[in-house]
Every structure is written in C-alpha cells, then in structure tokens.
Amino acid sequence: MNWVIAALVCWILGYWINHRLAHTRLSNSRLISLAIPIIFGFTILFIWEALVRGFNVPMVIIPAPTVIASRFAVSLDILWVDFVQTFVKGAMSGYIIGCGSAFVIAILIDRSPFLQKGLLPVGNFIAALPIVGTAPILVMWFGFDWQSKAAVVVAMVFFPMLVNTMQGLAATDRMQRDLMATYSASYFQTLIKLRLPAAMPAVFNGLKIATTLALIGAIVAEFFGSPIKGMGFRISTEVGKLGLDMVWAEITVAAIAGSAFYGAIALIERGLTFWHPSQRGQ
C-alpha cells in the first residue's frame, strides 16, 4: 500500500511541477522545454516502479524499471551487437536506399506524366503489402543476414517518402513557376532554385515518418529469420525463455535509437528550413 501511495504522490507532484513550468514566462525557453518531458518521463518510471512493487506484479507480465535497468547494465555487450546488426546495418542501409531512391523517382515522376500514371499505382500496391507476408519472401531472396532486413525497410519507407516528395514538388503555385519562365529558366534551374527548396518541409516529413518505419521493419523482419544476433532475434528468443527483462532492455535500446534518429532528422530540418513558417517560434 505504501508503494501505491508513493505512486499517487509522485503523480500529483510531477503534474504540479510540469504545470507550473508550462505556465511560466520562460516556458518557451530551451531549458524549460527540455525539463518538462524529462520530469514527465521520470514521473512515469517511478509510478511504474511503485505500482509493480505495490501490487507484486509478476515479472513475466511486466518487470519493474529497476530490473530492466539492471539487465540493461549487465548486457551492454549483447545489446551493442544487436544494435549494430539491426539499426546500423539493417535499418539505416534500408532507410538510405529507400528514401534516396524514392526522392530520385519522385523527381522523375514529376518530369514524366507517363511515369506518374505508371509508377504511382505500383508504389501504392507495394505499400499496401503486409510486412508479415513480404518479410519471409525477402528473407528467402536475400538471405538471413542484414541484407534481407534492409530490403524490408526499403519496401516500407519507399512509398511514404515518394508521396511526400511529390507533394512537396507540387507546393509552388503557378505564378512562381511563370516568374521563373520569364527569366528563361530551364526545368532543372526551376527545380533547383524554386521547387526543391519549397519541397523541403514535405521531404523532411517523409524522412521523419520513415525513421520509425525503418526500425520497425528491421526488427519485425528478424522474426522470420536472422543470424544469432539482432533486436528482433533477441526479442523472439527471450520471449520464448520468459526473459522479459531482456526483452524490455531491447525495447529500451530500440526506443532510444528511434528517438535519437528522429531527433537528428528534425535538427537537420530545422537548420535547412529555418525560413519556413512551421519553424518559426521553435
């Protein structure tokens, strides 16, 4: 009962602190903006710990954060190998290939009405394929190592990136394009100096969406065949052994890696599209 009371007190205290910080005159400062989610996160972790211990929740249902942290600390070597295999080799390579090819093909489709009518339905068809159906096939085609996981990631990130890039290329209005035509600008001059800069917010939207899809695709693909390493492989094997602390440690690594990846893309976006209205006041 003491743990339950502690959880309730922690929730009230955390809510009160964050409420006060959010309504201060400095609420838009970088320090306060960083402090609020950190305090909220530690509040959730403490409540989680208190409720698990207070109600004696079995570890096979959900382990306490301290148990997960202990397992995380003693398994850093395994977690690092799994991180490199899944994130660096599988997710990142597929992300670069998928997003890069989608960007190039979006420009080609924008240039050619024939490709617009032919490739877009094919891309939509590929995006609609379920990953649980395509992953085993791609594992058979490309083998059990990271190459098959990268292929799954390419299939997952290609269409969102393609659609967002095409939407961005269409962001300029007729008057702007006519102005470039009066300067005798060629298609590629108009593309480089007008349309691509205007498309950057939409392009980065596609890149940010693809960050989460890439990691999910690489992990799920490992469920259908992988060498004896990788986040998906470790999660599936540890679930079978009821090693839920290790499963949650892998989930923690995936969450940290995915958040850092998304944050890095968002920082690059802020640096390159500082002129866009969506970046003002941030």
CATH 1.10.3720.10 at 72-279, yes or no: yes
- Asked whether the beta carbons of 206 and 161 are under 8 A apart, the reply is yes
Residue 155 Rama label (left phi>0; alpha psi -120 to 50; beta): alpha
What gap in Å lies between CA 89 and CA 132, rounded to an integer? 20
Measured between its terminal Cα atoms, the distance across the chain in Å is 43
Cα–Cα–Cα angle for 34, 262, 24, nearest 5°?
Answer: 20
Q: Are 63 and 239 in contact (CB under 8 A)?
A: no
pLDDT for position 99: 92
CA gap 98, 162 in Å, rounded: 9
Sole residue written with tokens 């670069």: 96
* pTM > 0.85: yes or no: no
Average pLDDT for runs of 10 along the chain of length 282: 73 73 64 75 84 82 88 90 91 93 87 72 71 79 84 89 85 70 70 78 90 89 82 87 87 91 89 68 52
Q: Where are the beta strands (DSSP E) in the chain?
A: none
Residue 12, CB half-sphere, CA atoms under 13 Å: how many? 6
- Listed in sequence order, the DSSP H helices in 222-243 are 231-240
What pLDDT sits at residue 93?
93
pLDDT number for residue 192 = 74
Q: Sketch the domain layout of the chain as residue ranges.
A: 2-57, 72-279
Residue 149's Cβ-side half-sphere holds a number of Cα atoms within 13 Å equal to 33
